[in-house]
Structure formats: C-alpha cells, structure tokens
Chains A and B, each alone.
Chain A
Amino acid sequence: MSYSATASHDEHHDHPTGMMRWLTTTNHKDIGTMYLTFSLIMFLVGGFMILCVRAELFQPGLQLVQPELFNQLIGVHALVMIFTALMPAATGFANWMLPLQIGAPDMALPRLNNWGFWLLPPAAILLTLPFTLAMFGIGDGAIATGWTFYTPLSVQGGLGVDFAIFSVHLLGISSVMGSINIIVTIFNMRAPGMTMMKLPMFAWGWLITAFLLIATIPVLAGAVTMLLTDRHFGTHFFDAAGGGDPILFQHLFWFFGHPEVYILLLPVWGFMPQILQTFSRKPMYGYKAQVYSLWAIGALSVVVWAHHFFTVGMPVPALLYFMYSTMAISVPLAVLFFCWIATIWRGSMSFETPMLFAVGWIILFGIGGLTGLVLADVAADAQYHHTYFVVAHFHYTLFAGGIMGIMAGVYYWLPKMTGHMYNEKLGKLHFWLTAIAFNLTFIPQFFLGLAGMPRRIPDYALQFTEFNQISTIAAFVLGLSQLLFVYNIISCARGGKKATDKVWEGAEGLEWTLPSPPPYHSFTEQPVVK
C-alpha cells in the first residue's frame, strides 16, 4: 500500500533508462511512441514485399520471383500492412492522444497497455520468420494463401500457415487488450464536464473501433483455430468429405474481415475532422450527425460481410440482402463526407502538410467509397471480383483512406509529440509525390481489372503489359518517396524549430493546452471542460 502511494508520486527521475525504460514502461506516451515506431518499420517491411511483387509484374514471364514466393509475398504484405502497420498506428495515436484529449493523466490500464504492445514484435516475427527458415531449408516459406486464409488451400499449405495462425492469435489478443484499455479510459477518465457528447471526435471514432474489435476478433481467432485443428487434429470443419464446408470459413473470416475495414478507418474518420477544423479555423460541422453516422456504420459493418464472396454462389434472397445492405452504408458515409466538406466550406483555409493530406484524403477516399458502391452490385461484381479492379478499389480505401489519413495525423501531431516543427517543404513534397505516384499506381489497375486481369497471378497475358509497367514504375516512386517521410520524422524528433504549445493557429482541444512536448505525466491536475 505504502509502496504504491510512493509510486504514484513518481516523477521521471527514477524510472529505468535505456532499453529497460521501453521494456517496462507503463507510460502512455512511451507506449504510443513504440506503437508508432513499430508501425513505421512494418510499413517499410510490407512496402518492400510489394515492391518485389511489382518488380516481377513489370513484364510478362517469370523473372525475379517464382510463383511460390509470389503467393507468399502478396499475402504477407497484406497481413503486415493491416495488422502490424495500420492497426498499431491507430493504437499509437490512441495511446498518445486520447489521455491528452480527454484530460486524463494516463491510460486507465497501463500494465495491460505495455503487454498489448510487447505482443506485437513476436507476432511480426512469427509472421515473417518462415521466409528466413525457408532459406535454411526448413519448411516451404510463409503463408501462401493470400491474407484471407481460405480453406482448403490453407489446409494444404505448409508451416507458414501455422506461423500465421499463431501470429494472428497474438495480434488479436493485443488488439482486444488495447480496445479494453481505450473503452475503460474513455468511460472513466474524462475530465470533469466532458460529457459523452463533448468527446473529441477521435475518441468517438476509437470507441466504436474498440467495440468492433472486441466483437469480431474472437470470431477470427475461432476461425483460424478451427483451421488449425483441421490441419493437425483431424477435424473437418471446412472439409466437405467430413461433413464440413469450405465456405463456412469465408463466412467466419469476413464476419471479422468487413468490420476490420472500419476498424482501420474509424480512428482516421475520428481525427480527420479535427485536422479540417484546425486548418479551416472554423468549428466542426455536424458533430452529432457525425457521431450517429459513426455508430450507424459500425452497426452496419457487421451485417454485410457476404459481399466479399458473392461469386461462391448464394440463394437469390441472400444476394439481394447483402447487396442492398451494403449499398445502405453509403448513406451514413455520405453524411460524413457532407460534414467534412461543410467543415472546410467558408472556412479560412491554409494548406500546411496535414491539411494537404486531409484534403487529398477526402478526394481519394471518395474514389474508394464510390467504387465500393459499384462493387456492391452482385451482377457487375461477378466481373470485378478477384480482379485488379478490386485491388485498386481497396487500395483507395486502405492506402488513401487509411495510410494517407495516418500520415495527416503524423504531421498534425508530430510537433506536439516531439516539441519541434518538422520540415514543411519536405512534408509538402512528400504529399505531392505520394498523391501523384499513388494515383499512377492504382488508376491503371482499375483498367487492368476491367480488361480481365485476375489478382494474385505472378504472370499475365500480353495485353496487360503496358498498364502493369506504368503501375510498377509509379509504385517504386511511391515506395521511395516514403523515405522522405521517414527522414522528416527522424530529423523532427532530433531537433528543429521549437513548437509552441498550440502549434497550429486554429487548433482547438485539451491537447493543445499542454506544452510541446507534453510533460511525462500529462494532466497532473484535471482540467475542467465547460
């Protein structure tokens, strides 16, 4: 008792330094920094994998990558980007910013927080280790089924599948713990006067994300565990010969997989209006409408999963239900778009790097949303499905809508986190290179899909050559320009112009009332919200 009383009065003079500081830390900012750094490293790892793929696809024929390795690279690229780049980035922001935004000294469950992070590196190692093992003649490489683990292909696969299953288990446990922490923090640690309907939008976005994670991750964990027992313990959940059904796996997987899309996007939808209002110098438009829309999207996201596999064959009523329910998501999403644009409308805008990313994000994510609406149509989906049209579509939602959104957040909060301004010129250059190269990478893929190029093929017919070449060249520009991003972050962390407390002229919210960088324990005295 007396120990914990002294511990709570601890200042940063007697916590461990060096490696032990990071291993044992329970501080929300340290953990947030580790999440964000981990995410950046994995973003580069996943990017490197897909550049190998794009290099192979530069021309027809097999040149650099044999089909076995090709299938491993595409699937692990997706798993790395989704589970170890995008999701940790959002959790990193939550750790850093939620306590600051709601006026709390730290997250509610700091030890759980530490554990949640330290599950990630072993998970990432499990996921990628089979590549290295294969070099030493152990096993036949990483999971080669695509990120979706579809049975029976995944039952047939080598030890890479088992590694991926355990990796997903660890990642899932980490996400659920992070989610519990966030829910408890938001419900219990808000500053006096901050009612739920005064919560910063980022907290709303994350709250719904956290509920979605807790609802769907166990389904994924169950599905991959059933896959594991099918592989090694003689069960037949997904084997027709034993009374099972391979399509059952797809239902379970996408019951998690579709909400997962919103798990990746809702945190971004949370902080994006905050960035828009900051640089428009105008209050957020339609706060309540946005909150209700986030809830509506969260609720709808768990009842539309089967649109990911319309081509497996379903009864007509099921097809119609999943088509119309998917289309219905466009309504709350349109409310959000309306509010974002109305927030900048008649504002007094300036275009620093975060704002450039935010505006570019609205436009590019819009393309992802609209192509998604078209994909909901069952008959046309038969043509789009499993082609490059879908690949282009989900990169507009997950790269433009997810990663470029995260980048907006990084530039927006980096001065607050480090206490230094980043290099604005370099930031703008990074934005323009990213936006242009991104479009040149993925617009050709829409046409490839329409012309009939299936996804996940290591070699292709001659008529697809030109668009693939454009896409590959642009992908390399896109990949290399991310090095500017890394350089800018590192040099900003090391020094640069001192950032003011408020950083941005139009910034609103509790995080901007603290110094930059904020003290080790955020709010030692609770702020009061009027």
Chain B
Amino acid sequence: MVMQFIRKAGLFLATAMASFSAHADYAWNFPKPVTPMALDTLHVHNKFMLITMAIFLVVLAIMIYSIVVHRKSKGYKAAKFTGPSTKSQVFWTLVPFAILLYIDFILMGIPAYHSVVMMEDTKNEAQMVVKVTGSQWRWQYEYMDGDAQGIKFVSNLTTPQDQIENKIEKGENYLLEVDNPLVLPVDKKVRVLLTANDVIHNWWIPAFGASRDAIPGFLRETWVKVEEPGTYRGQCKELCGKGHGFMPAVVKAVPEEEFKQWVVAQKEQMETAAAGADKEWTKDDLVAHGKGVYEKNCAVCHQVTGAGLPPAFPALTGSKIVAAPNLDEDGKLLKDSHLDRVLNGKGVMPAWKGTLNDTDIAAVVTYERNALGNSVGDMLQPSQVKALR
C-alpha cells in the first residue's frame, strides 16, 4: 500500500518534471510588448526591478556579514551604541535616506510620471474608437466611428466544457480562445471605451500593457496601438462571479487592408440579419436557430437542460414566467413577462436587447417556450420584436 503510493508519487513527480523541461522557454517576465504602452511598461518594470534587486542585495550582504561575524559563538563582544554620536556619523547615517529619496522621486519617480501621462493620453491623435462592454461572463465589442461604425458583436469562450472537466485533452489555447475576437487594424491609435452591464470587470491583454476596469453605469477609457499583426490573448482581471476565470479577451490585429475587407464582410452579414428580421419564420426554424443562441448565451447560467442553478439562476423548465404570455392583445410588451426579462433583464439577468438582434431574441424566446421541457406552444416573430424597439 505504502510502496504503491510512493511509486505513484514518484511517477507523478517524473511527469511533472518532464512537462516542466518541455516548457523551457517559459516566460520569466512580461510577454513580448506589441504596443508603445507595453514597451514603456516593460522598460519601467525592468529598471525598477534592477533598482530594488540592488537595494535588496546590498542590504542582504550587510546582514549576512553581520550574521557571520558578530556572533556570540565566535566570541564577538557586543558594542553599546544606540545611535550616531559624532557629526560625521550623523552625516553617514543620513546618506542612505538621501539615496532613497533620489531613487524614489528622481530615478523611479520621473520615468513613472512620463508613463502615467502617456497611459492616460487616450484622446490625442486617436484614429478609432471601440467600446468594450463586460458582462457576466463575456465581452461585447462595438465600433463607434469610421467605416466600421455600427458593427457590434459578442465574444464568447469557445473552450468546450469537456476540456474544462478533463474529459478530453486540452487545446493549445485552453481558456484563451473565443468565437469572435475583437479585430483591430495595426499601427492605429485606438481609443477604447469601457463599461459593464452587471458587475465590475477588467479588460486586460498582457501584450498591450493596458488594463482598465469596466464599471457598470460609467465609462472608463484606455488606448492601444498594436504595432505587430497577430492574435493577442488576455483575461478578465477583476473577480466578477463564478465565470471570472472563463472570460477571455482576444484581439486579432490585422493590416489596414485586411481590416477594411473584414469591415465590408461584417456589414454584409448585418444586412442579411436585418433582412431575416422582416421575413416570416416557421416555428421549427425559430426553435432550431434559438437552440444555438441559447447554448451560446444562456446556458452558462440556466444550464443546457434549462434546470438553472437555483437560487441564483432560476430554472426555465416549468418556469411560471416562461409559461405566461409575452404580449397583450394590442401587441404591447407585458411587464415582467418572459420577453420583458430577455429584453430588459432584471437583477442578475442581463438585458439582451443591446446585444442580440431581433431574430436571435425571437428565436431564443421561442426555443425556451417550446423546448427544455416546456411546451407553451406559441411563437414569436422577429418582426414582433423589431416593433417593440
């Protein structure tokens, strides 16, 4: 029994060591900077680390000397001094503090000042504005100006639950992969506005050096200017509930031309979606489309089966709200109805009207009423949702 345990532990340690050497290029410092701000942060960080390391080593050396030499076991007789006595001693006692003041407010203080000013200069020469909205537990992106104005989408984690539960092997970008990354052109200063729908989040891409809280009800801002095309991965950095560890922020930086093509493609997609809102859908089509919307956006809390996680996240299966009618006889939205909850949210439930389009909302509501163990029987057309906006 004991031997078996030791053998198992040994095997385990061996695999741990092997996997360690496999990552020999492990990062000991910040990731490679790709924005001016990240580069500046890295320089400041390296400089400060060297300074503090030097202070630490000098003080440690003095202490080690004292520990080795000034020992009773070596017969060292204790001195009696309790402070500096002569003028020159007072002078030499003050020298370390003069050096410290110089380090604090000149050597470190001046570069730190310039970094702060640079970090907070979000508006000057900004060529583009992007709005980032945090919600539990996904990021939403919206382009605020230029050709891309009006493009908006939600960015969800795509790592399968089976990988998280260790049922299948984990992919290369485990927990750092999304369906729709934020696409930005390189070499353009992008002003990033941040807000949140529910609790405080923090949008952070380590390679950008920018990190700012997204606060519900307020706008905060930062900026990025990506200088190298590539995909950059980060995470939400402010504890925001149970999904906090599963809320990656991914940015794809592309050359200007490619960005323009992407904008055109996105605009075409938006037009198709808008056209979809005006056509008459069948119930089966709505339910089929709604299933996808549900599993992407709603299943995190209400679960794939609709059982929810009471008391925080109520079950949809057998829910009284789901069973009640959505609209009155004149087609007006009933307060506290199923559709009202989806559109406007309440408490923990986010408002989806700004995030999902008419087709998605109509489909997901129809799905929830006719699947997940519910059979209310009615359906909602995208045009009805559109009329309520």
Please report A residues at the B interface, Cβ cutoff 8 Å.
Answer: 60-63, 67-68, 71, 139-140, 144-146, 150, 152-153, 156, 158, 239-241, 245-247, 280-289, 309, 311-313, 316, 319-320, 323-324, 327-328, 330-331, 334-335, 337-338, 341, 344-350, 359, 362-363, 366-367, 370-371, 373-374, 377-380, 382-383, 385-387, 447, 450-452, 454, 456-463, 465-467, 469
Contacts and interface: CB of A to CB of B under 8 A. Distances in A.
Interface string B152-182: 0000000000011110001011111000000
Interface stretch (B66-74, B123-131, B268-276, B371-379): B66-74
B112 A366 contact: no
Given A312-B213, A348-B70, A385 B52 contact: no
B11 interface: no
Contacts of A152: 198-200, 216
A241 B197 CA distance: 11
Given A156-B241, A469-B16, A378 B59 contact: no
B115 A377 contact: yes
Nearest to A382: B211
B104 A328 contact: yes
B82 A382 contact: no
Nearest to A75: B239
Contact of A348 (B56, B78, B105, B311): B78
Interface string B68-109: 001111001111111100000000010011001100110011
A140 B41 contact: no
Contact of B97 (A153, A313, A335, A385): A335
A59 to B, nearest CB: 9
B244 A456 contact: yes
B211 to A, nearest CB: 4
Contacts of A451: 26-31, 206
Given A60-B174, A320-B113, A348-B76, A379 B166 contact: no
Contacts of B246: 67, 459
A368 to B, nearest CB: 11
Given A327-B108, A350-B73, A466 B78 contact: no
Nearest to B136: A156
B326 interface: no
A379 B119 contact: yes
A281 B165 CA distance: 59
Nearest to A448: B27
29 contacts: A62-B166, A67-B244, A67-B245, A152-B200, A239-B217, A240-B215, A246-B218, A280-B70, A280-B78, A282-B79, A309-B213, A311-B237, A330-B104, A331-B100, A335-B97, A341-B63, A344-B67, A347-B76, A349-B67, A359-B67, A363-B60, A373-B48, A373-B104, A374-B52, A379-B41, A379-B115, A383-B45, A383-B211, A447-B26
For the complex of A and B, the 5 pairs showing the least CB-CB separation, nearest first, are A240-B217, A379-B115, A457-B245, A452-B206, A313-B220
Contact of B52 (A287, A337, A362, A373): A373
A454 B44 contact: no
Interface of B: 16, 19-20, 23, 26-31, 37, 40-41, 44-45, 48-49, 52, 55-56, 59-60, 62-63, 66-67, 70-73, 76-83, 93, 96-97, 100-101, 104-105, 108-109, 112-113, 115-120, 163-166, 170, 172-176, 198-200, 202, 204, 206, 209-213, 215-218, 220-222, 233-246, 311-312, 347-348
Contacts of B23: 463, 465-466
B119 A382 contact: yes
A458 B210 CA distance: 23
A382 B40 contact: no
Contacts of B101: 331
B170 to A, nearest CB: 6
